[in-house]
Amino acid sequence: MTAASAVVAIDAGQTGMKVRVAPHGAAPVDQVFPGIRTHEPLLPQLASVAIAAARHHRVQIDVLAAGVSGLTEAESDAASLRAAVAAESPDRVLLAHDSVTSYLGALGDRPGAVVAAGTGVVTLAVGRHRVARVDGWGNIMGDAGSGYWIGREALEAVMRAYDGRGRLTALSTLVAERWPEVESAYIELQGADDRVAQIAALARGVAELAADDAVAADICRRAAAELALSVATALDRVADDPGAEAQVAAIGGVFRAEVIREGFARELALRHPRAVVRRAQGAGVDGTAELARLGPGHPLLSHVSVA
């Protein structure tokens, strides 16, 4: 008996890989695999997961689509991924940065902008003819308004208060709960493999303190302003009609904080009055599945490796 053909969509992140197997004529099924191992080559991991999912569900891969967190230019090689799954004989393979698939998951194929703010942040805007990416440059060079950025600002505020260079703040108590010897916190962080995650984890506490602490409130206000600036900039870069309404979705853990979510909406209204913030219609794996359905000539395909 010949196996049914299917679209296999992979939403690949470091915490997990969500896979959707959609056999033609049947309901799709989702499955979760362990996350990307950053110390190992990426494409063999994607191929292994795709083949494992196809064999588990007893289907033949017709189209393989993958959206990958932090995909580099060197890794963006759909032809090599297709070769790695050659035993499945796919008709088409698509490989994209997860900013593309997050966009498709949140807004579908309509024009607008999506800002995804978690530990890091990236904004993608899509017009009728152009695509613009803003930020997503990592914690050393960018990620303004991200969880890491908020945590880093909190740590600096605490040390300024400790030295007497800045205002007293309840953030000092927040930081002391994690690093009781505050003078040695920077030494511990410099030696920690997960220092980015540790610093980003402070963002939730900063948002919770914002209602009663002026320093925390100022950090949240500036984070919201940075995120709004990225969205407004991206929309301006792709605009065909500057007076047209623009759909915007804000996704990721940073936006779970009401103070940042509301501040972002206020700042965006000032910077881009025609922007309309709406709820995301789906998640990353939905966007990866949508990637497989993009028609020829769609502007997002210029940011996708296809083989």
Distance CA 161, CA 285 (A): 44
Helix (H, G, I), strand (E, B) or coil at 180: coil
Please state, in angstroms and rounded to a whole number, the distance separating the CA atoms of residues 31 and 203.
Answer: 30
What tokens were used for 191?
């030696």
Q: Would you state the pLDDT for residue 145?
A: 98
Strands (E), 168-282: 246-251, 275-277
Residue in the structure block whose two tokens are 């009728």: 128
> How many other CB atoms are there within 10 angstroms of residue 32's CB atom?
12
CB 267, CB 228: distance < 8 Å: yes
User: Are the CB atoms for 199 and 152 separated by under 8 Å?
Assistant: yes
Q: Are 101 and 288 in contact (CB under 8 A)?
A: yes
Q: What is the pLDDT of residue 3?
A: 78
For position 242, what pLDDT does the model report? Answer: 74
CB distance 198 to 192 below 8 Å = yes
The segments of the chain whose pLDDT lies below 50 read none
Contact 20, 285 (CB under 8 A): yes
pLDDT at 53: 95
Q: Phi/psi of residue 155, each to 5°?
A: -60, -40
pTM, entire model = 0.85
Q: Residue 38: enclosing H or E segment and its boundaries?
A: none
